[in-house]
Amino acid sequence: MALMLIKFDMKKRVKLAQTVWFMYWFAVMAGVLVFSLGLFFKIELRKRSELMDNNESHFLPNLLILMGLVACGINAFGGKVCYDSLDPSKFVKWKPMLKIFLMVCVAFNALLLVTALLCFLMKIPLQFTLAEGLKNGMKFYKDTDTPGRCYMKRTLDLMQMEFRCCGNDNFRDWFDIQWVSNRYLDFSAKHVKDRIGSNVDGQYLMDAVPFSCCNPSSPRPCIQQQMTNNSAYYSYDHYTEELNVWKRGCRDSMLSYYGGLMNTIGLLVVLVTMLEVAVTIGLQYIDSSLSTLANPDDPESESEGWILEKTVKETFTDIMDKMKSMGKGSKVDEGGEAAIATDPGQKSLKVESVNGRGAFHVV
């Protein structure tokens, strides 16, 4: 028995074709939306690509762009088929390729769903990418005179101000690296010599953060130097004082931003997938209803439409049987070729055996 069998007359078939045609063109716009989301996501990642450890993060936006383009093409073709289904003479030319097209649509819908799942799961690898990228970026903050790294200070400062964050995990990350270039240090000064001499790696470390870590909403002037020295400022205790720098780490802030963006995109792709499944089912009903006309010469005769000609179990069984028969057929072909290949060898052995007796001679 067919799955979700529906009876159609001429009026119902026309209404179905018109509805699915409208849905297909709506799906074309949905494809443009997926393409635009992928393009927007790619631009957002490129803005801060210097702070990411690898280029694998661009795989998802590239996939979204590709899926959007493919969706536009598939849905435009499906809309044309639905439009021509209103005229039997035009629909005949699409009939031979319609089954293949429906299989392509099913595969595309499955890939679109996988894309949506990747949007929800990409937050996990992005977390490690940001952690390593920010760590390396902070090391290069001072290299304003080094070709290829001179932009890093500006990138990090803008990022910390935009995302209202400081450091990788928190503001104390700046205490563990030298973020002031040597060209701005007076190596003849005693305090500079002492700081460099007290460090194993010979770095100029200090309990300070860049200006971009300052919170402009704080009523107190920004304390970004000697942050752990209570005597350096009046009425200040860094253990209890509400610091006027951003406490949140930039990895957490950026992960929250990109994670929210990917969740939104993933949800929209799921909705687009549901629309694609709906138009695929509609086209299947159009195809099956036009194939089962009670009187093929009379377009106004009644017909039946379905999603699957048999039940899900029977369809699955048929597919497995076909796959098994194809496997057996290939084995038979290989066996036949092997038998043919061995026949000449056997004949030559017989001839040699007979020749050994001197009864026959081969010319």
Q: Kindly give the confidence (pLDDT) of every residue in the chain, 363 residues in length, as a single tens digit, with 9 standing for 90 and above.
A: 566 667 777 788 888 888 999 999 999 999 999 999 999 999 998 888 888 876 667 889 999 999 999 999 999 999 998 888 887 778 778 888 888 998 999 999 999 999 999 999 988 888 888 888 899 889 999 888 777 778 889 999 999 999 999 999 999 999 999 998 888 888 888 888 888 888 767 888 888 999 999 988 888 888 888 888 888 888 877 776 567 889 899 999 999 999 999 999 999 999 999 999 999 998 888 878 777 776 666 667 776 766 766 665 666 676 676 667 776 665 555 555 555 555 554 444 344 444 444 444 444
Check whether residue 125 and residue 80 sit in a common domain: yes
Amino acid at 57: S
Q: Are 248 and 47 in contact (CB under 8 A)?
A: no
Q: Would you tell me how many other CB atoms lie within 10 Å of the CB of residue 362?
A: 8
Amino acid at 76: A
In the numeric block, the tokens 């496997």 are attached to: 327
288 SS3 class: helix
Q: Would you tell me how many other CB atoms lie within 10 Å of the CB of residue 57?
A: 20
CA distance 15 to 18: 5
Residue 358 forms part of a structural domain: no
Check whether residue 71 and residue 107 sit in a common domain: yes
Residue 362 forms part of a structural domain: no
Degrees to nearest 5, angle at CA 208 with 203 and 213: 125
Check whether residue 134 and residue 265 sit in a common domain: yes
Q: Are 290 and 85 in contact (CB under 8 A)?
A: yes
Check whether residue 93 and residue 18 sit in a common domain: yes
Q: Would you tell me how many other CB atoms lie within 10 Å of the CB of residue 325?
A: 10
Of 247, 282, 303, the residue at which a domain comes to its end is 247
Q: What is the pLDDT of residue 166?
A: 93
Check whether residue 206 and residue 261 sit in a common domain: no
Check whether residue 117 and residue 56 sit in a common domain: yes
Q: Are 360 and 354 in contact (CB under 8 A)?
A: yes
Check whether residue 209 and residue 273 sit in a common domain: no
Q: What is the pLDDT of residue 291?
A: 77
When divided into structural domains, the chain yields a total of: 2
**In which domain, by residue range, is 256 found?**
6-140+252-295
Check whether residue 115 and residue 31 sit in a common domain: yes
CA distance 157 to 239: 26
Residue 340 forms part of a structural domain: no
Residue 324 forms part of a structural domain: no
**Radius of gyration of the chain, Cα coordinates, nearest whole angstrom:** 35
What's the distance, Cα to Cα, between the start and end of the chain in Å?
Answer: 68
Check whether residue 78 and residue 22 sit in a common domain: yes
CA distance 251 to 67: 29
Of 216, 231, 247, the residue at which a domain comes to its end is 247
Check whether residue 78 and residue 201 sit in a common domain: no
DSSP run (H or E) holding 333: helix 312-357
